[in-house]
């Protein structure tokens, strides 16, 4: 009988120790540090870019009738620069973006071309200002001056020197890749 009492006493002792540990008692304490970080950097977001927060850029030469351009009766002279839009948003601060335009999907050498029905090409130029004397946009990077933190447009104009003989009736397009370095 004595033996049973001892086993019962040990069993009750183990239960009471577990109860004490579960009630908030602890054997020690340890300390460490938690690092908290955030990264803030200059940025530029260009129209139609991956963020999709800035509208896509567009240069539209408009509609033209072949008979009018061939006879000089066109109400819009294709050789006159047409303004396009290429939205750009850069952060405030020390961001000085440089922009370059590729020659496009349908270029022959450095000559940009719109492509239409049957692969017909119409040459065009992109200007860094409102006249050819201010230079062409090419695959070199040129600085653009924008007010940091505000949406602006990259100065962009285009013109078609002349419709080539044999241009076919239809819709002509090209896509140019715009690169911003900041």
| Residues 80-132: tens digit of each pLDDT | 788 888 898 888 875 678 899 999 999 999 999 999 999 999 999 999 877 77
Is residue 133 predicted with pLDDT exceeding 80? no
Specify the pLDDT at position 5: 39
DSSP-derived pairing of the beta strands 178-181 and 98-101:
antiparallel
Establish if 120 belongs to a structural domain. Answer: yes
- Domain range for 76: 42-182
Q: How many domains, the chain?
A: 1
pTM of the shown model: 0.70
| Residues 26-68: tens digit of each pLDDT | 788 888 898 888 877 778 888 877 776 888 889 888 876 665 5
Establish if 1 belongs to a structural domain. Answer: no
Is residue 13 predicted with pLDDT exceeding 60? no
Give the Å distances, CA to CA, from 100 to 62, 79, 154, 156.
24, 23, 10, 11
CATH classification of the domain holding 94: 2.60.40.1090
Establish if 28 belongs to a structural domain. Answer: no
Establish if 20 belongs to a structural domain. Answer: no
Is residue 165 predicted with pLDDT exceeding 80? no
Establish if 133 belongs to a structural domain. Answer: yes
Q: Between 157 and 26, whose confidence is greater?
A: 157
Q: Are 58 and 84 in contact (CB under 8 A)?
A: yes
Establish if 11 belongs to a structural domain. Answer: no
Q: Between 70 and 51, whose confidence is greater?
A: 51
DSSP-derived 3-state class of residue 106: coil
Establish if 23 belongs to a structural domain. Answer: no
Specify the pLDDT at position 72: 52
> Distance from CA of residue 27 to its chain's centroid?
56
| CB-based burial, 56-72: b 16+ in 10 Å, e otherwise | ebebebeebeeeebeee
């Amino acid at each position: 009988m004595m033996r049973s009492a001892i086993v019962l006493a040990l069993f009750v002792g183990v239960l009471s120790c577990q109860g004490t540990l579960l009630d908030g008692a602890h054997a020690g304490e340890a300390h460490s540090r938690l690092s908290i970080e955030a990264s803030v950097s200059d940025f530029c977001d260009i129209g139609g870019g991956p963020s999709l927060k800035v509208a896509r850029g567009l240069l539209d030469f408009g509609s033209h009738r072949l008979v009018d351009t061939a006879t000089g009766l066109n109400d819009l002279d294709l050789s006159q620069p047409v303004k396009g839009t290429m939205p750009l948003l850069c952060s405030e601060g020390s961001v000085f973006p440089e922009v370059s335009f590729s020659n496009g999907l349908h270029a022959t050498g450095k000559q940009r071309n719109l492509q239409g029905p049957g692969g017909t090409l119409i040459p065009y130029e992109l200007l860094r200002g409102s006249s050819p004397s201010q230079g062409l946009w090419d695959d070199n990077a040129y600085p653009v001056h924008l007010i940091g933190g505000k949406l602006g447009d990259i100065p962009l104009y285009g013109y078609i020197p002349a419709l080539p003989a044999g241009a076919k009736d239809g819709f002509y397009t090209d896509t140019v890749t715009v690169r911003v370095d900041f």
